[in-house]
Structure 1
Amino acid sequence: MARKQLIRALPPEWSVSITQATQGEEALAAIRQGLGQVVFLDLTMPVMDGYETLARIKAEGLSCKVIVVSGDVQEEALRRVKELGALDFIRKPAPADSVRSTLERLGLLGADTLQAATQPRAELALKVNFRDALREVSNVAMGRAAALLAQVLGVFVRLPIPQVNIFEVSELHMALLDAQRGERLSAVCQGFIGDAIAGEALLLFHDSEMNDVAQLLGWQPHDSIESSEMLLELASIITGACLQGIAEQIDVRFSQGHPQLLGQHSSIEQLIQLNRQRWKKTLAIEISYSLEAHAVHFDLLLLFTEDSLVRLTRKIHYLMQQE
């Protein structure tokens, strides 16, 4: 989905051949073959991410001009990629005018590289399914949430590749057990609804990490009530920013309920028993944020009701057509 969006955003009259890579190692192989004079590089990728790829390009002295295109819009992310040699940074989803202005500013769109557009690029024939498209939408949304979280906590947030799955309750149970990793958890739940799409955001905090989180926030909770307030505030930041990022991309407006403490110092078994009736079959987006230089991570699950799937699918398919 990200590659399809970007290829469509390239100036149609720009006379270039396009080589695609799904991750950093493939990109390096293509650059070594001379197939990447100009490289549009994502940051969140499997196998080898964008930071590692930039470091390798610099270490090997490979000749290419790198423009980062990413949903990770943390100020520290921008600083790091520039330090590693990237010439510019375009925020996802990359609009055509931003791509054009960046190419012009870098002198890559000169008269000698332009020709009259005669036919659509063959490279546009990319197969993108619903799950891949929703994963990319989630990737952009989690980047915005991470930028806000980084500002609040004063840290760099490491971003994963979001996972998108349709779960039965038993499968959701197993996914949550894996997230727990044998630890005690506190969970905050926040409902949302908009344009026939509804669900719940479930944010899991690991109890063993809460002292570190409190220090980052400058809190000194003296009892369970103050601890609860801290969790609710943090959940509002993470969940709200992520939902807003999704809503903007698929053109809906979510109304959000107040965050509620679903369970504190509980096991996953207890949380499942409390909510078995609400979670039957669900579309789940899983995002695990982690904080660099701190043993802290948050597991966010966006759980969409089964009734929401039809409308959400239409929204995603419309977005794919536009891209």
Structure 2
Amino acid sequence: MPRNSFYRKRMTSLDDAIPLLVCDDSSMARKQLIRSLPANWPFRISQAENGRLGLDMIRSGRGRIVLLDLTMPEVNGFDVLARVRDEGLQAEVIVISGDVQEEAIRRARALGARAFLRKPVAAPDLEAALLALGMEPVAAQPDAVDASHALPPVSFCDAFRELSNIAMGRAAELLGRVLKVFIRLPIPNVNLLEPGELQMALIDAQGNQRVSAICQGYIGGGVAGEALLIFHDSAIADVAGLLDTKLDTSSHPELLLDLAAIITGACLNGLSEQLGLQLSLGHPLLLGEHCTIDELIRLNRPRWKQTLAVEISYALEDHDIQFDLILLFTEDSVGRLQQRVEMLL
């Protein structure tokens, strides 16, 4: 039987429906993908919130087609692709990811992904990728429609985590091109924090290392906050080396400000576009150089009140370089952000 010919037959019952797996740790992403599927193609849909569960479902035949995220807990999307290939599993994988670095796309395709789509995916692009697998629209019989799956509930923090994930990926793509390295992306942490909780989170993230920090305010559309970019001092010299920049007392702040412009600007622009807001960035401010996180907190304690905190830890592959971007939205901004997220959902 020719490759993909099983997709072309007319569906006559639910048993004939195509098993399709949506594998993404974000309930918002799964909901958006399910709603973006072509309505006239019957699928038997399963959902997995991490790569380990996704592999189990593929092995059990519940994922002949897989819509796969890359950044997931337990087993990430690259590892899922590798295991599908190594185990000879019958699955056609379409990667749908916020990590849009050229190297991420290359690696996914090298591991067997049939297509790579950027988040948030547009329904016509998803349909085109499915058509490229050899599928064709069918006139399904009434009993061939799979109504058994339910759209997952989406909390505000989960939705904002997904939006941050997409914005984070755009910033990484730009930074990766500037530094000519592959950026390993985490799952963003999103929490509503009291001042003491925020300070504890900063201490946990940075430990006892000496750090330098840049702060940049933003405002627009009823939303305001500060972006805090924290570098370990041990990483700054390595970053300067990647940029062929001589690092001395005068160039250290300039390098920090340049990196902040790239990382903070790209990430906030990504959030603004998704939320339909126009955020204006203020001038970056050097909060502290070569200090401990305790000293940074003591100097800036009055600035940080109850806040929506988004923490993103970037790491450079093959380099001992890591830095943290923390977006701090004011308490008054949360209601406006919730309204915008509800519109997206």
TM-score (ref. length: structure 1): 0.95
Q: Which residue of 2 aligns with 1:194?
A: 220
Relative to structure 1, the CA distance from residue 236 to residue 27 in structure 2 (aligned partners, 3 Å threshold; closer, same or farther) is same
**In 1, Cα distance between the equivalents of 2:149 and 2:224?**
36
**In 1, Cα distance between the equivalents of 2:279 and 2:129?**
33
Q: 1:288 aligns with which of 306, 309, 313?
A: 313
Q: Which residue of 2 aligns with 1:61?
A: 88
> How big is the shift at 1:123?
2.7
Q: Deviations over 1:266-295 (max 9, x none)?
A: 111221122111101111000000000000
Q: Which residue of 1 aligns with 2:284?
A: 259
Relative to structure 1, the CA distance from residue 134 to residue 117 in structure 2 (aligned partners, 3 Å threshold; closer, same or farther) is farther
Contact 1:7–1:124 (Cα < 8 Å) also in 2:
no
Q: What pairs up with 1:1-323 in 2 under 5 angstroms?
A: 1-108=28-135, 110-111=136-137, 113-115=138-140, 121-221=147-247, 223-320=248-345
Relative to structure 1, the CA distance from residue 43 to residue 262 in structure 2 (aligned partners, 3 Å threshold; closer, same or farther) is same
Relative to structure 1, the CA distance from residue 121 to residue 148 in structure 2 (aligned partners, 3 Å threshold; closer, same or farther) is farther
Relative to structure 1, the CA distance from residue 32 to residue 277 in structure 2 (aligned partners, 3 Å threshold; closer, same or farther) is same
Q: Which residue of 1 aligns with 2:21?
A: none
Contact 2:307–2:331 (Cα < 8 Å) also in 1:
yes
Letter in 1 for 2:62: L
Q: Deviations over 1:117-149 (max 9, x none)?
A: 898955343110101000000010000000001
Letter in 1 for 2:61: G
Q: Deviations over 1:127-180 (max 9, x none)?
A: 101010000000100000000010000000000000001111111111111121
Q: In terms of Rg, which structure is larger?
A: 2
Q: Deviations over 1:39-96 (max 9, x none)?
A: 1100011110001111111111111100000000000000000110111101001110
Letter in 2 for 1:181: G
**In 1, Cα distance between the equivalents of 2:183 and 2:151?**
34
Contact 2:94–2:117 (Cα < 8 Å) also in 1:
yes
TM-score (ref. length: structure 2): 0.89
Aligned Cα RMSD in Å? 1.5
**In 2, Cα distance between the equivalents of 1:235 and 1:187?**
9
**In 2, Cα distance between the equivalents of 1:120 and 1:315?**
31
Ranges in structure 1 where 5+ consecutive residues have no aligned partner:
none
Relative to structure 1, the CA distance from residue 11 to residue 310 in structure 2 (aligned partners, 3 Å threshold; closer, same or farther) is same
**In 2, Cα distance between the equivalents of 1:114 and 1:272?**
62
**In 2, Cα distance between the equivalents of 1:266 and 1:247?**
32
Contact 1:12–1:117 (Cα < 8 Å) also in 2:
no
Contact 1:13–1:116 (Cα < 8 Å) also in 2:
no
Q: Deviations over 1:243-273 (max 9, x none)?
A: 0111111100100011111100011122112
3-state DSSP class of the match of 2:216?
Answer: strand
State percent identity of aligned pairs. 55
3-state DSSP class of the match of 2:209?
Answer: coil
> How big is the shift at 1:297?
0.7
Contact 2:70–2:77 (Cα < 8 Å) also in 1:
yes
3-state DSSP class of the match of 1:17?
Answer: strand
Letter in 2 for 1:84: L
Relative to structure 1, the CA distance from residue 148 to residue 121 in structure 2 (aligned partners, 3 Å threshold; closer, same or farther) is farther
Contact 2:194–2:306 (Cα < 8 Å) also in 1:
yes
**In 1, Cα distance between the equivalents of 2:257 and 2:240?**
13
Relative to structure 1, the CA distance from residue 245 to residue 124 in structure 2 (aligned partners, 3 Å threshold; closer, same or farther) is farther
Relative to structure 1, the CA distance from residue 72 to residue 194 in structure 2 (aligned partners, 3 Å threshold; closer, same or farther) is same
**In 2, Cα distance between the equivalents of 1:24 and 1:239?**
30
Relative to structure 1, the CA distance from residue 116 to residue 307 in structure 2 (aligned partners, 3 Å threshold; closer, same or farther) is farther
> 4+ runs of 1 displaced by more than 3 Å?
116-122
Contact 2:214–2:228 (Cα < 8 Å) also in 1:
yes
